[in-house]
Amino acid sequence: MKVITSPAMWAGARCGGCQSRIVWRYSSKVNRVTGKRSLIPLNAEPVDDPRVGNIILIPNPDNPDGEPLAHVLTDAERARVPEDMPRYVAHFFTCPNANDYRRPRR
């Protein structure tokens, strides 16, 4: 598996709720209805504990030289991904004001 340590997409981004540094990445998952990828806010720095980080950056199959995609690991994938591969956490899990930014369920 290729390790990606890419420059941050929208590198100067800050969370509107807590002002922490974040990066925005498109999801590796394509929405079945719209055919588009959603954006995921990630904490700017990878986490040290591989048990906590559940998101890795993977090459974009549509644009291999472009920004990598955020891939949310399944439990089975977590066991196969090397522990030294940088892992990230969605900022929604660490932001104290995340509920202010959640969309209502449809």
Q: How far apart are CA 57 and CA 3, in angstroms?
A: 8
Q: What pLDDT is attached to residue 77?
A: 94
Three-class secondary structure of residue 46 per DSSP: coil
- Write the pLDDT tens digit of every residue in 78-90: 989 998 899 999 9
Residue of 65 and 23 predicted with greater confidence:
23
**What Rg do the C-alpha atoms of the chain give, in angstroms?**
14
The structure's pTM equals: 0.81
User: Residue 6 in contact with residue 68, Cβ under 8 Å?
Assistant: yes
Which residue, 57, 77, 81, is CA-closest to 68? 57
Count of helices and strands (H, E) across the chain:
1, 4
